[in-house]
Structure 1
Amino acid sequence: MAPPRPYAEPLTPANLPDEVRALLDATPLDEPLRQGRTSRVAFALDASGNPIVLKRSIGPHLEVIRREHRALYSLSPLGVSAPEPLLYLERPGSFGLEGWLVTRRLPGTTLEEALSAEPDRDRRTSLLTDFGAALARLHATPPRPGFGHPDWLENVLGVAHRLQPAADAARIEQLRLERPVPVVPSLIHGDVFLDNVMVAGGRVTGLIDWAFADVGDPRYDVAVATHELTRSELEAFVEGYGPAARLSAEEAAYFVELALLF
């Protein structure tokens, strides 16, 4: 889906809200070449020289940045490896109501990039094992009371329909009917593709893009995290996560299809 027109416009100091601009030093904004579909992102430094991330979303994607804001503020006291939220605001803009989120920037590069650049098999294995362990720690973290939706799967299907109106409604209904036998729900990230995992020094430093965090089926995270891994890479991940990461082919296919609705 092509991004709305405002997402093609760079973020500059001139188009930042005053509250956001007040946090920054004089260093120019740095926008990554790869932008997301639901927000415009820029990297910057705060007044003390610490790296931070700016996000702006508008229109139907305002729901996404609102969700991430709520999730980060709820997760922050839990010690979860997530960016610290610094500021959230909404204001009228040229293209309608827009949301702005400012967080600390986690160190490192994405696991996707790190694996692509790492030729050493042992170091790749170590990265994936650490990733599995990090995801297991998240799933073992008790959520704050009141966080999450009573019916996680129903909420996911509803969000997918709102964000992707052109999605096949019949297939969404079929996914509703084909839901796997439930397991004990846990705190989940909800979007744990390899480009949302940050690593530095051979270790996972945290996860980014928490808009779909919830209390839901941990198999969803595992399926998304591992669906592009080779057999040996999956074994490395399982070593860190534990045997519960061994999903059936049917479970893995179901949860990956669910994730790809977005």
Structure 2
Amino acid sequence: MDISDIPVEFVDQIGSIKKISFPQQGHTSLVIKIETRDHQFIIKKTEHDLFNEWLSEEHQALQYLSTTGLPVPKVYAFHIQDKSRWLLMDYIDGISLRHFLGSKPNHKDREKVISHYGLCLKQIHETQRPVGLSKNDQSWIDTMFMKASHNLANYNVDGTEELLVRLKNDRPKPIENTLIHGDFHTNNVLVNNNKVIGIIDWPRAAFGDPRFDIALAIRPKQDVFDQKGDKELFFESYSRLIISDEEYRYFQDGLYKFF
């Protein structure tokens, strides 16, 4: 990709481009870093129906979240071109929390960042629902079931029809909804100088069940929530509620498999 491939309206806003690079890529979009003389941008491009839908939803969510004080990237423009979608936003100069933990930081720094990770999720869940991110006529979980059924019928997902039926029959007891990220895990949290400085990838932002965020936040990976005391430190900082093993399995090993 070169400058000529970037939508003209983006180039007009960006100005004179000095450098184009490709940072660590996700699974759903092409991520392009743009550098000018005095600013850095990120462009995300998708070319798949489901991922196009997610990018459109992320654009809308970031607009709503811009007034909340949460550390989200500023969004500048959204472009539709044939079967592709493009989103232009600020670059946040940090590394993913997963990358940070995988770099084997010293014990003190590791504890500090995990604690800040818990505080970050607490901040999201205590943020007033932004104007525009309104309640649906149906409950959040019923909306998720509807989307799960659609994804199961139309896309390659890890969930099955049998799992979806079981989730509908065994839904957890409702709790008070909050603003949620919807995909809150260590790849979507950016760190610099041992502090969380950014939260990215917001297509599933909603007024929903905070246990969904918590379950994704604490799922163990290599070097991530695989040491004694990690979860306890997270919950000590989060301090709103602690989910049970059953709730963890329901959201992380169940509902999330359709997204």
Give the direction of change, closer, same or farther, for the CA distance of 1:122–1:26 in structure 2 (3 Å limit). same
* TM alignment of 1:124-163, pairs within 5 A: 124-150=110-136, 151-163=139-151
Instruction: Quote the Cα distance in structure 1 between the aligned partners of 2:134 and 2:161.
Output: 24
RMSD between aligned alpha carbons?
1.7
Name which of 189, 197, 201 aligns with 2:181.
189
Shift in Å, 1:20: 1.5
The equivalent residue for 1:250 is 246
* CA displacement at 1:261 relative to structure 2: 2.5
The equivalent residue for 1:57 is 46
TM-aligned CA deviation for residue 146 of structure 1: 4.2
Equivalent residue for 1:221? 213
Task: Indicate the residue corresponding to 1:3 in structure 2.
Answer: none
Code of the aligned partner of 2:44: K
2:16 maps to which residue? Answer: 25
Runs (5+) with no aligned partner, structure 2? none
Q: Which runs of 5+ in 1 are unaligned?
A: 1-10
TM-score using structure 2 length: 0.88
Tell me which amino acid in the other structure corresponds to 1:27.
K
Instruction: Indicate the percent of aligned positions where both proteins have the same amino acid.
Output: 28
Q: SS in structure 1 opposite 2:164?
A: helix
What secondary structure does 2:87 align onto?
strand
Alpha-carbon distance in 2 for matches of 1:24, 1:260: 41
Runs in 1 of length 4+ with deviation above 3 angstroms? 160-164
Deviates more, 1:184-193 or 1:20-29: 20-29
Shift of 1:134: 0.9
| 1:54 to partner: Cα distance | 0.1
Q: Give the aligned partner of residue 113 of structure 1.
A: 99
Given the superposition, is the C-alpha separation of residues 99 and 240 from structure 1 closer, same or farther in structure 2, using an over 3 Å criterion? same
Compute the displacement of 1:227 (Å). Answer: 1.4
| Counterpart pick for 2:59 among 55, 69, 72 | 69
**Would the alpha carbon gap of residues 119 and 59 (structure 1) be closer, same or farther in structure 2, given more than 3 Å must change?**
closer
TM-score by length of 1: 0.87
Cα distance between partner residues in 1 of 2:131 and 2:66: 14
Q: What is the aligned partner in structure 2 of residue 237 from structure 1?
A: 234
2:80 counterpart (90, 106, 112): 90
Give the 3 Å change call, closer, same or farther, for CA 43–171 of structure 1 in structure 2: same
The aligned amino acid for 1:259 is Y
Secondary structure at the aligned position of 1:52 is classed as strand
